[in-house]
Structure 1
Amino acid sequence: RFGPGAEAARIEGSKVHAKELMATASVPTAYHAVLRSREETLEHLACASYPAVLKADGLAAGKGVIIAATEAEAREAADVFFLERRFGDTEVVLEEYLEGEELSLLALCDGENVVPLAPAQDYKRIFDGDRGPNTGGMGSYSPVPGFDRARTEEIADAVHRPIVDLMRRRGTAYHGVLYAGLMITPAGPKVLEFNCRFGDPETQAVLPRLRSDLIELCLASRQRGGLQGARAEFTEEWAVTVVLASGGYPASASKGEEISGLADAAAIEGVEVTHAGTAIEASETVTAGGRVLNVTALGPTPSDARERVYRAAGLISFAGMQMRTDIAARAVERVAAS
């Protein structure tokens, strides 16, 4: 089997459980409190610092996080969790708000060893300039300036390996992909979340750069110790991924809108179009979800990859299409300034 067992997979399924693991393994993360009722939440909110972060304990398709700028907004969030029950019957994790830049680091694990992949940076908010509500991700790019192999190994030493070691000692060996969503703060990287799968849309920017055999790495991760001495090698090329979302996303999703331009976009050299929320109706490709398509382009520089991906994305259209226009802009600026 590729992937963790049910107990090991709770690291994604329960944020409360993940926090317990991180505390035991001394993995850096945000200060937090676990809240089990609206009344308890309102008591904590009265003395909390703002902005503050409130998270549903369980799985919520990337939408169970509310960043409250004020106590009034936090009280509204408490109603969403405990009165509206938008995410079901859930506990809530109240976290300090971390300042910095997000970084995503996926790693393959065999129950003992950890092989980190290339880091990526994704964009959670729906609108340019990191405005609007959180989504499952509106784009990503890889590599990330300032995070070479040595820095990546340092992060894996501080984040992934302590978790894998703890799970091994507990008899719930972790096999498969361990995704860490991180905030790079002035005090160093801190974990925002763990996923027990390839992260989306980061994977779309990471895997096209991979030069090692992915199948061999995945098969090796199934065996205890199978990744001993293994490394993941990547090309020097840059990859930029842009997500095309449907109208109304993330609050809702329009469906059944005909999509045009797919073949033209995919015909551009170095471009790959992957489907997420699509369907076939009357021989036509139509929208069928919130995040509809991912467009990824490779290039020798972030500027080249970015120009190519937006040229391809511009050929695709459907009613209500949403697309951020600033994906990887900071990478272009930093490389130009270096």
Structure 2
Amino acid sequence: MGLPTPDLSGKQKAAVLLVSLGPEIAAQIYRHLRDEEIETLTREIANTSHVRADVRDTVLNEFYEMYIAREYVEQGGIDYARELLEKALGAARAEAILSRLASTITTRPFSVARKTDPGQLLNFIQNEHPQTIALILAYLNPEQAGMILSALPPETQVDVAKRVALLDRTTPEILKEIEETLEQRLSAFAVEDYTMAGGIDTAVEILSMVDRATEKTIIDALEEEDPELAESILKRMFVFEDIVTLDDRSIQKVLREVDTKDLALALKTASEDVAGRIYRNMSKRAADMLKEDIEFMGPVRLRDIEEAQQKVVATIRRLEEAGEIIISRGGEDEVVV
């Protein structure tokens, strides 16, 4: 592929990016894509036999600029992003970057709410219908939403958590109505564009920020009301890559409980950070043997790897339930004694 980047399609640039990032990171990115997207990118990568250094550097730089610009937009809107980009790159470059983003940018609603103290925000929304509360929480930062969810009555917690998990798309009319109501209460609230929020991943992010007792109350109730939804949430509550958040003693307990074959399979596509934490908590001989098992394993279906990782995660959750290990919930005020 010897074309300058202006002549590359978006798919070709994505292929160059994945090739440049390497197989491990590319594999992690694949996990978040749909099957048809994976097929398209794989086809492009297969046709990318050689990438010139200047093309690679230009694509990586363009990706970085787009990423930073999107972060600025998320933080304070288009005008805020333009101001920062102009200071850093000049007016012409800033305008070019924002123009490329224009077709994909959807600024998130409730930007003022995200800057509001959770306790104050709770006073505004706690008497609203659970569906309204769920919609608002879906647009907040997970830790902020988790604090508000924890402060709601237990019966409301369950209802709201379930509604967050089942949220998909919200019509512009409903979103606008809720925004205008909050605008009156919080003042200076700008109505943003239609966007997507909610879903199981959002519910998981919020539940990951609440205390263990609140999480258990909500999950137990969901298991009675909607077992399939509860199972979907539980599968995402602690993912395999989160092993790096465990302390060494907890990892050692997990390793004693996990089948070696499952562990080898689970580490097949693991990041260097995860694999490193695992190996450091094993004897050198055991770590060397595990590395050999992985090396001589040969091609393995991604589905089998994910199943093995789920077995490891299930073991971790079982040990946490028994009080043998502690999973950090991500909040700043967590105390361990």
TM-score > 0.5, shorter chain as reference: no
TM-score, normalising length: structure 1: 0.28
Higher helix share: 2
Q: Indicate the structure whose relative CO is greater, using CA pairs within 8 Å and at least 6 residues apart.
A: 1
Higher strand share: 1
